[in-house]
Amino acid sequence: MTTYNSMELMICLAARYLEDGATVVVGTGAPCAAAMLAQKLHAPGLVVMFEAGGMGPLLPTMPISVGDSRTFWRGISASSMTEIMELCQRGMVDYTFLGGAQIDQYGNINSTQIGPRDLPPRVRFPGSGGANDLASLCWRTMMITPQDQRRFVPRLDFMTSPGYLHGPGAREAAGLPPGTGPYKVITQLAVFGFDEATKRMRVESLHPGVDLAQVQDNAGFTLLVAPQLPVSMPPSAEELALLRREVDPYRYVIGRN
């Protein structure tokens, strides 16, 4: 039996959603590992982009920042943040990965602060960077995150990056491009999508050994559940071999369980 940890599972699941010929803006860490794995396994034509301007590199090893020289290695362009964001505005970016301290049932993300907005925060985070732009303009937003009630909250302390705001039609009413928005949330317990009618977060698959009650207990709001609830397919031997030997041999990312 092949053994794996939760980070390896989340990365492998995320990589499977990135198809050949698609475009994706990633940061460092798990999203970059997912993109690298997809490139090496089933999507050699995946165009990976970084906020600092690297476009279409064939990443030799795991970069440590979005401005790392490796994010330009054998790329199609050494551009800048301006060009990357312009491509997003023009509707040419299929996927982006975002992270944050909090996420709510509509996929809105907080990466700014913990504590009420009108008071000094208890904890201050880096803020948006390019996350608001990417969440606003890319077609599909994905998130790889640990899941617990501190992160999955009924109400954000601060909205940094928009999901479906407060429900159907809200993004469009706010002037965001129709058809864009949250796509998948991948945690150590389950994979979530978003219900088409209500735009609320919905459980779509459970990871091996996890039951629905455990997933709900680790969320601060009521989760919708898909009519069919399969078990997430574990990483294959090939996926794990590539991930461990070529994508992250020093276990910078996959060593975090």
For residues 2-14, give the mean pLDDT. 95
> Taking a C-beta distance cutoff of 8 angstroms, is the pair 37, 13 a contact?
no
Domain boundaries, the chain: 6-247
Residue 164 has pLDDT above 90, yes or no: yes
Give per-residue pLDDT as tens, 202-254.
Answer: 999 999 999 999 999 999 999 999 999 999 999 999 999 999 999 999 999 99
Cα–Cα distance measured from residue 219 to residue 148, given in angstroms and rounded to the nearest whole number: 6
Q: Is the pLDDT of residue 2 over 80?
A: no
Residue 257: its pLDDT value, please? Answer: 64
- CA-nearest of 64, 69, 37 to 53 is 69
- pLDDT tens across 33-45, in order? 999 999 999 999 9
DSSP state of 29: S
Q: pLDDT for 105-143, tens place per residue?
A: 999 999 999 998 777 888 999 899 899 999 999 999 999
| Overall average pLDDT of the 143-149 stretch | 96
User: What is the Cα–Cα distance from 194 to 168, expressed in whole angstroms?
Assistant: 11
Contact 128, 112 (CB under 8 A): yes
Domain spanning 6-247 has what CATH number?
3.40.1080.10
In sequence order, the 6+-apart residues with CB closer than 8 A to the CB of 200 are: 105, 106, 167, 194, 224
Q: What is the CA radius of gyration of the chain?
A: 18
Q: What is the pLDDT of residue 142?
A: 98
Quick check: 13 pLDDT over 80?
Answer: yes
Choose, from 8, 19, 51, 172, the residue flagged as catalytic.
51
CA neighbor of 186 nearest in space, from 220, 219, 142, 155: 142
Judged against a pLDDT cut of 80, whether residue 1 lies above it is answered with no
Distances (CA, A) of 125 to 72, 97, 99, 162: 28, 18, 12, 17
Rounded CA-CA distance 12/45 in Å is 18
The angle at the Cα of 76, spanning 245 to 251, to the nearest 5 degrees, equals 20
**Token pair in block for residue 112:** 């700014």
51 is catalytic: yes
Instruction: Check residue 243 and give its pLDDT.
Output: 97
As a dihedral over the C-alpha atoms of residue 233, residue 197, residue 111, residue 93, rounded to 10 degrees, the angle is 70
Cβ proximity of 124 and 166 under 8 Å: no
d(CA 71, CA 58): 8
Residues 6 or more apart whose CB falls under 8 angstroms from that of 140 comprise 94, 95, 96, 180, 181, 182, 183, 184
Over residues 190-200, mean pLDDT: 98
- Which pLDDT tens digit goes with each residue over 49-107? 999 999 999 998 999 999 999 999 999 999 999 999 999 999 999 999 999 999 999 99
